[in-house]
Structure formats: C-alpha cells, structure tokens
C-alpha cells in the first residue's frame, strides 16, 4: 500500500483466539483485554489506515505555545528515569519496597532482581537504544538486543511478568520471551501472569506437563503452545481465571486477576491504594486506568494500610488517567504539570473548533 499507510494486525495468538492476544502496529501493541482475539473471531487479520486531512484547531498559535512550554518542562526531573533507563528502572525500587511480584505473587521481592534490573540490562551486550514516539522529548522506549540479534522493546511490565513473576533471573531469557510474545501476538502481562499461574499449579501438584518456576526453556515452549493452542497451551490460552475454573480444587484461589484480567507489576499487599485501584477497575486489573500507586509513594503515606483515604486517592487517579487519555497525552508527562486540571483545560480550549 505504500509508506503513507500504517498497518495494525494480529499474529498466531489472535488467529487462534487466545483470550489475551494483541493487535500490533507501528512498534506498539494494544495488549490488555484481548483485542487480538476479537479480530481473530471476525477472521480479520488487520487494518491499514492513513490520514488525508488535518484536524482544525480553534487557536493554532496558542497550541504551539502550549506544546513548546510542555516540551520544555518534560525535560525536567519528573521524567528523568524514563529517559535514562526507561520503566525497567522500577525493578530495584519495587524490590526494595517489597512490591515486586514474584513467583505468581507468592512474594514481593526477588532474589534475582539485580541480575534482571534496568541497570543490568543497560550494562550488558543487550544495552538499550532509546526510541521516541512522534514529537516526544522523553524517549521512554528502550530497545534491547536478544542473543539472536533481534531488537525488542522491553518495559517494566514485560520484564516483571516474564522474569520475577515466573522466577526467572536470566535477562537474556526474559528478552527472548518478550520477543516471542511480540512475534506471536501475546500480551506480555497476561502471558507472564498465566504462565506463572501454570507454574504454581505444577508446584502444588495440580497439573503435570507444565514448566516450573525458573524454567526459561519451559516458559518459551509454553508461550508457543499457548499461541498455537497445543497441548496444555489450549487450556492456558483461556487465561488464568478460566483455566483455574477448569482445573478446579484450590486453583481459583491463586489465579491472580481482577475480572479475568491478570495483575500488572504491583504487589497489592504492599501498595494499598493501588490494590483498591486495581480491584475496582472497569476492565479489571489495569495500571493504565488507575495510577493509584502515586498515592502509595506520596511522602508520608502509609502504603501498607487500607484506610478511608485510599478511596478518594484511587478515584482521583482514575480521573487523571481519563483526562490524559482524552487529550491523547502521555501519562509519563504527568510530572511535568503544575496544575494538571487547569493546564489540561487550557489545552482543551485551544483544540476545540469554535462554533
């Protein structure tokens, strides 16, 4: 179709209706919620799109002024970690706070955290290269090299889910697993969460023929089997909640999800505001809909106690997330705002077409 088009499509996981299949395009993945399975169910491989018109602005000059101001502020301290290491910088911090989910949430710290940390990833042969979204000043995307020489974009969520959550302390194995998820069209969070659940099923003797915690080759094989619905992969292609219901016994008690959506990389017992934010999420355990961990990390906050202050904090985080999404602004910019609501109102006004 030519370079003016962008293509978004599914992989084998979507074609085989894996419940956490993604739609991928332009180096990004619409992962949470199984949109790839929706495409697959409609026998739709993908969509090619291009734009031909510009969106009219009420005050184009003011839009440019506000954009330049925000760009300048985005280079401050509030976004430094995203530029330097990317979100993989979270690993050692969360591990120190007991908030790094480990071995299917059996623990909040991982003995191999240092070996798979953002610092370790950037220090080795796989050292990351920064990438930017269009016109972005932060460059939070860090692309690392697998042993095969393949570039793979790794965020904290994929690192935690395919690493500590599965008991894997080998950064090369994690990069390979992340690359495999990209190739197959699997959401890395749900893939890691479901694999970790399978590993605990094996540990508890509920199932055979599943990898154990720390089994890098077993994890890679399971990802392939899930995407193609082979053997045990057919069961775990349904996600941890449905798989647990079929296995029975105690399995539902350690399938870690909210409304069927596997938990992201925050140990809820160590982050009580975030625990509430995940618990009441409209589409389940979704860290993009709730950033309530901001309250847990607020100076003076008691992140270990579930008191009445957590409700308003969780609600406010959802409002901030919805506002930034509505304006199509990156959530990593939130630290660059002084008064988020007032400044977003100004941005909105300059974008609206006058009637």
Q: Are the CB atoms for 264 and 287 separated by under 8 Å?
A: yes
Tell me whether residue 108 is exposed, middle or buried, using C-beta atoms within 10 angstroms of its C-beta: 0 to 12, 13 to 18, 19 or more: buried
Contacts of 36 (CB under 8 A, 6+ apart): 10, 11, 13, 14, 18, 21, 22, 23, 30, 185
Q: In the 8-state DSSP scheme, what is residue 224?
A: H
Provide the residue-wise pLDDT of the chain in tens; the chain has 355 residues: 888 999 999 999 999 999 999 999 987 899 899 999 999 999 999 999 999 888 888 888 988 898 899 888 888 777 888 888 889 999 999 999 999 999 999 999 999 999 999 999 988 766 667 888 877 888 888 899 888 888 999 999 999 999 999 999 999 999 999 999 999 999 999 999 999 999 999 999 999 999 999 999 999 999 999 999 999 999 999 999 999 999 999 999 999 999 999 999 999 999 999 999 999 999 999 999 989 999 999 999 999 999 999 999 999 999 999 999 988 888 888 888 888 888 888 877 776 654 4
From 292, 283, 281, 290, select the one nearest 325 (Cα to Cα).
290
């Amino acid at each position: 179709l030519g370079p003016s088009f962008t293509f978004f499509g599914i992989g084998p996981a979507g074609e085989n209706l894996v419940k956490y299949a993604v739609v991928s395009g332009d180096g990004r993945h619409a992962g949470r919620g199984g949109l790839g399975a929706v495409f697959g169910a409609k026998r739709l491989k993908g969509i090619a799109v291009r734009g031909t018109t510009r969106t009219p602005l009420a005050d184009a000059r003011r839009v440019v002024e506000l954009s330049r101001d925000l760009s300048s502020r985005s280079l401050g301290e509030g976004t430094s970690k995203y530029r330097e290491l990317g979100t993989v910088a979270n690993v050692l911090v969360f591990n120190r706070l007991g908030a790094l989910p480990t071995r299917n949430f059996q623990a909040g710290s991982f003995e191999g955290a240092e070996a798979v940390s953002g610092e370790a990833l950037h220090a080795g042969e796989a050292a990351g290269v920064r990438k930017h979204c269009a016109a972005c000043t932060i460059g939070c995307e860090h692309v690392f090299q697998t042993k095969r020489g393949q570039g793979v974009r790794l965020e904290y969520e994929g690192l935690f889910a395919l690493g500590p959550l599965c008991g894997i302390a080998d950064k090369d194995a994690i990069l390979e697993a992340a690359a495999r998820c990209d190739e197959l069209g699997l959401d890395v969070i749900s893939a890691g969460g479901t694999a970790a659940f399978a590993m605990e099923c094996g540990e508890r003797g509920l199932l055979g023929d599943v990898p154990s915690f720390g089994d890098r080759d077993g994890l890679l094989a399971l990802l392939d089997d899930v995407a193609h619905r082979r053997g045990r992969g057919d069961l775990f292609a349904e996600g941890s909640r449905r798989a647990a219901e079929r296995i029975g016994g105690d399995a539902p008690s350690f399938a870690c999800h909210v409304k069927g959506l596997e938990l992201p990389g925050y140990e809820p017992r160590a982050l009580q505001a975030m625990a509430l934010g995940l618990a009441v999420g409209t589409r389940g355990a979704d860290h993009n809909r709730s950033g309530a961990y901001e309250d847990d990390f607020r100076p003076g906050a008691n992140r270990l106690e579930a008191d009445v202050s957590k409700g308003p904090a969780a609600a406010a985080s959802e409002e901030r997330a919805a506002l930034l999404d509505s304006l199509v602004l990156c959530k990593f910019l939130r630290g660059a705002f002084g008064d988020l609501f007032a400044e977003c109102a100004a941005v909105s006004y300059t974008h609206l077409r006058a009637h």
